[in-house]
Amino acid sequence: MNLTEGTTSTLPVPSDPSTAAGHEPLRLGVILGSTREGRFGPVVADWFLSRVGARPDFTPELIDLAEVDLPAAPTARPGPAARAELAKVTPRLAAADAFVVLTPEYNHSFPAALKSLIDWHYAEWQAKPVGFVSYGGISGGLRAVEHLRQVFAELHAVTLRDTVSFHNAGALFDEDGRHTDPADCDAAATTMLDRLAWWGLALREATALRPYAA
Ligand SMILES: Cc1cc2nc3c(=O)[nH]c(=O)nc-3n(C[C@H](O)[C@H](O)[C@H](O)COP(=O)(O)O)c2cc1C
């Protein structure tokens, strides 16, 4: 089952992707937080990229943490190996106008690789919106998302209320990685991406006018 937060909201939702009409598409960093052997994450990533790829208001780029080997603990003076790994991700985070984090839930929280990526960076997150697509067992990854909200608040990022979550995710997709009943999750993705477009444009314009100083 997919949980769509915000379906009972009475607030107006900017449901038209042309929210960003007349603007440069928002550069969207899609961060895949699961890295383990045999992970389910790429199925969720493919689904999400197919949704966002259909929209004119975003230019998505997948940032797959399985392709980065950051040391767990950040240091002020990273050595050559750490610098080489940072070079794979830091410029891409810096260039993004907005993020969507794809996260599973491990022991009621989010993966260590994701925490490591977050901790290695600071200014790259500031004054940018962050949306979530979560998945897991019965929890749908919701506890991982709530932990991530606390972490991103410390980094001056703005997390979105509306999320997409997949409960018992493995049972929802067929052997080819297609969701077997995608109406609800597609609708949830549309809502989340509409919100992200609003915040992404608002913050991009605001920071161009007045740099965010934290
Ligand atoms: C170490 C570990 C801990 C997990 N803890 C939880 C949990 O607390 N709640 C939950 O709903 N699912 C939990 N799961 C299930 C995963 O969220 C689920 O298998 C998910 O698909 C894993 O994503 P991945 O395959 O991309 O790593 C856990 C899985 C692992 C490997």
Per-residue pLDDT reduced to its tens digit, 142-190: 999 999 999 999 999 999 999 999 999 999 999 999 999 999 999 999 9
**Residue at 32 is within a domain:** yes
Query: What is the reported pLDDT for 3?
Result: 44
Helix 183-209 vs helix 41-52: crossing angle, to nearest 10: 70
CATH of the domain at 147: 3.40.50.360
162 in a domain, yes or no? yes
Closest atom of ligand 1 to CA, residue 39: 25
What sections of 70-162 are H helices per DSSP?
A: 80-95, 112-119, 142-154
How many domains, in total, are found in the chain? 1
Tokens standing for residue 142: 């919701």
For 12-66, how does the pLDDT look when each residue is reduced to its tens digit (9 = 90+)?
A: 444 444 455 678 999 999 999 999 999 999 999 999 999 999 999 999 999 999 9
Q: Nearest-CA neighbor of 103 among 60, 163, 182? A: 163
Measured in angstroms, how far is the CA atom of residue 44 from the centroid of ligand 1?
Answer: 13
The whole-model pTM stands at 0.92
Tell whether 120 is covered by a domain.
yes
- Indicate if ligand 1 lies below 6 Å from the C-beta of 139: yes
Residue 104 belongs to some domain of the structure:
yes
Helix, strand, or coil here: 47?
Answer: helix
Confirm whether 213 is domain-assigned.
no
Residue 136 CA, closest ligand 1 atom number = 17
- The single-letter code of the amino acid at 196 is L
Amino acid identity of residue 65, one-letter, is: L
Is the CB of residue 36 below 6 angstroms from any atom belonging to ligand 1? yes
Pocket flag, ligand 1, residue 138 (CB < 6 Å): yes
Please, what sign has the CA dihedral across residues 128, 198, 54, 138?
positive
Strand partners, 173: 179
111 lines ligand 1 (CB under 6 A): no
Mutational test site, ligand 1, from 65, 103, 106, max ligand atoms within 8 Å of CB: 106
- Domain assignment present for residue 80? The answer is yes
Let me know if residue 200 belongs to a domain.
Answer: yes
Contact 20, 57 (CB under 8 A): yes
Atom 8, ligand 1: residue with shortest CA distance: 107
Question: 136 CA distance to ligand 1 centroid (A)?
Answer: 5
- Residue span of the structural domain in which 131 resides: 2-7+25-208
The answer to whether position 115 is within a domain reads yes
